[in-house]
Structure 1
């Protein structure tokens, strides 16, 4: 494992930092109507310079660079107040799937606008009855000449209320086992028969949505991959999602350490409490383990290698630590922990945000249980779990009672 930049990487980092210093200042000096307008303006600026998607081919508007260059730019960009999440799902999960499976005409139509921030994409996978099993999808698509007619429901769809397009996984064959009767399509989220309902979250936001399909017609030309072979297509999307979700972020050990120095406990400052100090030590060790695991991934990228399923480790640890750390901090704040005004809370309510968002991160991109299975089977080489439904037709799987 190598913690240092190569001379070439150091030069790239210096160039990226210089570009960011100049362009962030110019971007912040421009008056934008709202956060979305600011986000699209910054995305267009990055795209023009080849920084929007560094690893994508130049012929599609990317930078034609390496994965380690993308990591370096991300590290440097994180130091500036220009973090916009509107494009993460589209550029990190949806459009790469389109690029891998669509024809050239479709790619020419969508890749450029998405890269420049002109159009936003969302991913329509999860369903109310599916739980953590993506292959349990029940939204049906029935062939009607050159179209498919879709009926069903999706849920927890991030950003659908402000997205233009999406990729959707549907059931096209109930006579095959659940993993073999799925098909992927891209679709216009403003098409007739699509109803998007934002879900009100306990944080006060509405970032997720329910989506209802009523006789929605999708042309077969919008299919991604072969009919009934959508699981292979979905795996491309899911692996990108899990890598993105495992990136960490939010409250960390340094933040709660700063809080512990300010808060008073029964016998003085909380930082002097032996039990709390033990928890701080545990969080610090976890954080260092995460940092070193990510460095292994970065080292692999630097050497031109492809990181393996061990990246799932980071997602499990980071999401659980965020939830545990947030709960501990809010409890330590005692009655002040229930205040919901960020202006009155330490670090603008960072720990309250961790309490409310931590549980969701343990589900997004694969639940803890799913990822532990991946680690057990693909990293440790343990035998897979027994699956009694592996070869059963989807129509024969038990439903309800």
Structure 2
């Protein structure tokens, strides 16, 4: 019996991955963001990225004309499944792939696509997001960073905060105020600007986890070219909202991101290791029940994501439904981190030094960092408002 087109693609993909994915790229490990400021040194990671770039599978569903793979949704799901099967991790990550790339493909000019998309696909540039300001978080439209018309460019002055990875980014996409004399949602524009210029200063913020993933970013006569204005002047709020939908819908997605997440120890395996087992089951009945509940909810969440992705492939825009992904995805993230720390007992409070494995220390710090997950990318309270109004149709 001849193979269907899907099964033929599966067989070809399986063979290609087996031949081209180095052993060192299977399982947890470094994932390149594209930053020119973070040298990639691991040989297998470099080789894996190069091979996936050549195949177009760093951005599997993006148009082939920009270096993407041009895969259908069905082919994309096959690729994810086959990567998981060999524990292959993502060859590339970052906001270029998850946020600004999809936004430019949908809303950018042909010139913007030609200049920026291929570099994202090849992992030659890292991006950061300039949205929140010290006085503009949940009420983002009240932002004050100004962009003044200077002929062929804008001159930008102001400050952004909680800028993820700004110290490593090559470019920023930002919301700026271009008209202060109109209603706040109207006078905002969406621009792209380079981070390596005299008018941009970045200061990392040290968190309770001991890490500094977020930064303050200051603009003192920084420059954004008008060729990098995305969408219409003063209509950037629409572009910015669309990008947030990509952000909220990508909390647990992308080719190998899911594959790498599946590659490590399971909650049940860790529970048996740290809390003991009895007749092949987790000894603590209460912990067993909590893990089972988490795994059921996680499976339902993944299936809902797959359904929505299929609807998107069929031409339906997820829109405000992505708020459900953001809210529930962060809830699951925090639930998992809480379980991992609790089941370890005294080993779940390791910070540094002897007596704690690197993984135990990492998960303790991850638990602390994860407390902010329900706030960043739009707080869960804001997501509930969006769901109530735009998904459920409830009155104000």
Normalising to structure 1: TM-score of the pair?
0.80
- Alignment correspondent of 1:111: 117
Answering whether residue 6 of structure 2 is matched by residue 9 of structure 1, we say yes
In structure 2, the residue matched to 1:235 is: 241
Alignment of 1:1-400 (within 5 A): 7-25=4-22, 36-38=40-42, 42-78=48-84, 79-83=86-90, 87-247=93-253, 255-264=266-275, 271-300=282-311, 305-307=316-318, 309-341=320-352, 344-345=356-357, 348-349=360-361, 351-383=363-395, 385=396
Q: Evaluate the alpha carbon distance shift between residue 377 and residue 252 of structure 1 in structure 2; reply closer, same or farther with a 3 A threshold.
A: farther
- 8 Å contact kept, 2:162–2:215: yes
Residue of structure 2 equivalent to 1:390: none
What's the C-alpha RMSD, in Å, of the aligned pairs?
3.5
The question of whether the paired residues in 2 share the 8 Å contact of 1:251 and 1:351 is answered with no
After the TM superposition, which of the residue ranges 71-80 and 282-291 deviates more from structure 2? 71-80
CA distance in 2, matches of 1:368, 1:293: 19
Deviation of 1:311 (Å) = 3.7
Q: Secondary structure at the match of 2:266?
A: helix
Deviation at 1:348, TM superposition (A): 4.8
Gaps of 5+ in 2: 27-31, 33-37
Tell me, yes or no, if the aligned pair for 1:138 and 1:152 is still in contact at 8 Å.
yes
| Deviates most, 201-210 or 107-116 | 201-210
Deviation for aligned residue 1:186: 1.0
TM-score, scaled to structure 2: 0.81
- 1:251/1:354 contact within 8 Å kept: no
Cα deviations across residues 282-320 of structure 1 (Å, max 9, x unaligned)?
323322321332242244356565545334323322311
The change in CA–CA distance for 1:44 and 1:198 in structure 2 (over 3 A counts) is farther
Q: Which SS does the other structure have where 1:217 is aligned?
A: strand
Decide whether aligned partners of structure 1 residues 205 and 36 sit closer, same or farther in structure 2, where only a CA change above 3 A counts.
farther
Deviates more, 1:90-99 or 1:167-176: 90-99
Q: Deviations over 1:210-252 (max 9, x none)?
A: 2110111323232112111101111221111111115496699
Deviation for aligned residue 1:104: 2.9
Q: Does structure 2 conserve the Cα–Cα contact (< 8 Å) formed by 1:139 and 1:170? A: yes
The 3 A distance-change label for structure 1 pair 93 and 12 is: same
Partner of 1:82, secondary structure, is: coil
- Cα distance in 1 for partners of 2:128, 2:154 equals 20
- Deviating above 6 A after TM superposition, structure 1's stretches of 4 or more consecutive aligned residues are 251-254
Aligned residue for 2:134, secondary structure, equals coil
The verdict on how the C-alpha distance between 1:362 and 1:84 changes in structure 2, with shifts beyond 3 A counting, is: farther
Aligned residues: 374
Q: Is the 8 A contact 1:251 1:322 kept in 2?
A: no
**SS of 1:290 mapped into structure 2:** helix
